[in-house]
């Protein structure tokens, strides 16, 4: 192999390798950027913007059709094309699996029991209440972030009602996703709270 040919081969190898190297560096930088408190806050704000925008639009349609307040059924079924599956979009695999297990348990119990069972999800965890008024979230704050876990607080407003919410966020599938929601029914955290994961674990379908 001549020196000139060797140089040409090295140049070609560099030309082929450099784009892959740059893409890897960009990927690392994107990952590092997503680990910041600022990104976690932005992510939660985006999630709740999408969720509240959808429910407010849905509530407006229901009010136009039925008049009065809009009662939003739960759960949001993925097989309804016009309803986004927010759990799969914005929640962890563990959360989605647990919600699915509770839903399946309710369905199995209802199919073999003569006792009426209204099921576990009597209120919608995305809207905080069984019915819906104008919905929005604010006061988003990252309380703690360590490795792949972050804790975020916000206030969810449903008409003239509001509830402080504590989210546990896990970094999964290249982004931050909700792994748990806890509602506090007073302005400050107290013993009067509702931990969704904990309550689903305790639930026995009766």
End-to-end CA distance of the chain: 80
Q: For residues 130 and 59, is the Cβ–Cβ distance under 8 A?
A: no
Residue 124 contacts residue 83 (beta carbons within 8 Å): no
Cα dist from 174 to 29, 31, 53, 86, 151, whole Å? 13, 8, 24, 17, 18
Q: What's the distance, CA 8 to chain centroid?
A: 52
Q: Give the strand order in the sheet containing 193-195.
A: 135-146, 149-158, 161-172, 175-184, 193-195
pTM assigned to the model: 0.73
Q: Which two tokens stand for residue 6?
A: 């060797």
Q: How many CB atoms lie within 10 A of CB 132?
A: 22
Over its length of 206 residues, how does the chain's per-residue pLDDT go in tens digits? 565 655 566 655 566 664 664 455 454 445 557 999 999 999 999 999 999 988 888 766 555 555 555 555 544 444 455 678 999 999 999 999 999 988 888 877 665 554 556 678 877 899 888 777 889 999 999 999 999 999 999 999 988 889 999 999 999 999 999 999 999 876 555 557 889 999 898 886 55
Distances (CA, A) of 22 to 9, 14, 17, 175: 20, 12, 9, 21
Rounded to an integer, what distance in angstroms lies between the CA atom of residue 194 and that of residue 78?
Answer: 25
């Amino acid at each position: 192999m001549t020196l000139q040919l060797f140089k040409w081969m090295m140049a070609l190898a560099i030309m082929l390798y450099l784009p892959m190297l740059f893409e890897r560096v960009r990927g690392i930088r994107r990952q590092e950027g997503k680990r910041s408190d600022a990104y976690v806050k932005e992510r939660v704000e985006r999630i709740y913007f999408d969720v509240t925008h959808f429910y407010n639009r849905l509530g407006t349609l229901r009010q136009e059709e039925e008049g009065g307040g809009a009662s939003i059924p739960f759960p949001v079924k993925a097989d309804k094309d016009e309803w986004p599956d927010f759990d799969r979009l914005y929640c962890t695999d563990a959360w989605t699996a647990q919600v699915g297990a509770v839903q399946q348990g309710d369905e199995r119990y209802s199919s073999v029991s003569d006792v009426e069972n209204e099921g576990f999800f009597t209120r919608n965890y995305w809207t905080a209440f069984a019915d819906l008024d104008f919905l929005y979230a604010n006061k988003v704050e990252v309380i703690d972030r360590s490795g792949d876990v972050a804790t975020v607080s916000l206030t969810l407003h449903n008409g003239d009602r509001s509830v402080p919410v504590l989210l546990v966020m896990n970094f999964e599938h290249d982004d931050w996703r909700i792994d748990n929601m806890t509602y506090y029914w007073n302005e400050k955290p107290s013993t009067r709270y509702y931990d969704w994961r904990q309550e689903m674990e305790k639930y026995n379908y009766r």
